[in-house]
Amino acid sequence: MPMLKKKFTSTLGHIRISDLGLAVKIPEGDSIRGRVGTVGYMAPEVLNNQRYTLSPDYWGLGCLIYEMIAGQSPFRGRKEKVKREEVDRRVLEMEEVYSHKFSEEAKSICKMLLSKDVKQRLGCQDGAAEVKSHPFFKSMNFKRLQAGMLEPPFVPDPRAVYCKDVLDIEQFSTVKGVNLDQTDDDFYSKFSTGSVSIPWQNEMIETECFKELNVFGPNGTISPDLNKNYPPEPPKKGLLHRIFKRQHQNNSKSSPNSKTNLNHHINSNHVSSNSTGSS
């Protein structure tokens, strides 16, 4: 089931997978094709529009391990302004760089998971068991991990907000003039917000992955559908409207003839009456 979208930490510090909007269940023996994912995390076979099964998942795991150690994605530096095409080129052509932060085991598993050749990539031959047997996980008890019995290295504060304050994002938000008082603080403090790191949010913003969703009018004005003073578009006319309109047109066309026939009938009766009276 490739293309798992987001990972979160629960209140106990364990990983939870969410947002399965791009997940696909692949029957055994089948493969799929499609370019979906986040810039810098899509595997080479995805970028090349080749058919694949679970190989992009193992590539994504390599990206995740690399970023958790290095503090940045394998093919894009922190706060680096780079176009999508350039990031794709790096994924296809360049090798990732490893700093002193990587142990030999960490470097080994990242290089094996980030192999551009699917046949050589860790996990693509013998599945997850092949990944679990790597020396990087030599001290990991996966059964206890799956049961949630291992103590996580970090437990998020359920009352903490791991993101930018609403006032800090005013510079690139269309929402202006936000003022929070003590009542607002008390209200929002009751929400369990989870843990979303500020560096991760910054990276998502810098990659412009939401650019296609941010539609504005001329000179940066808000789009018409968000402007309350802008007259709404007329609703689409359905089948019933067309039927009644056609019936009304038919009635309108027949009205003059009916009126003429009525006048002719009245005049005829009037002439007949006069003739009878004169005789």
In sequence order, what E strands does the chain have?
A: 6-9, 15-18
Give all domains of the chain, ordered by start, each with its CATH number.
4-167 (1.10.510.10)
Of the chain, the end-to-end C-alpha distance in Å amounts to 103
Q: How many whole angstroms from its chain centre is CA 51? A: 22
CA separation for the pair 144, 97 (Å, rounded): 33
- pTM recorded for the entire structure: 0.57
pLDDT tens column, 88-120: 999 999 999 999 999 999 999 999 999 999 999
Phi, psi of 50 (to 5 degrees): -90, 165
Packed helices 104-113 and 55-70: angle between N→C axes, nearest 10 degrees: 150
- Which residues 6+ apart lie within 8 Å of 80 measured at CB? 206
Q: What type of residue is 26?
A: I
pLDDT tens column, 140-181: 999 988 888 888 887 877 666 665 555 454 444 445 566 777
What's the half-sphere exposure (Cβ side, CA atoms, 13 Å) at 162?
16
Calculate the CA dihedral of residues 208, 212, 215, 220 and round it to 10 degrees: 30
Q: What is the pLDDT of residue 5?
A: 47
What number of residues does the chain have?
279
**DSSP state for residue 70 in the 8-state scheme:** H
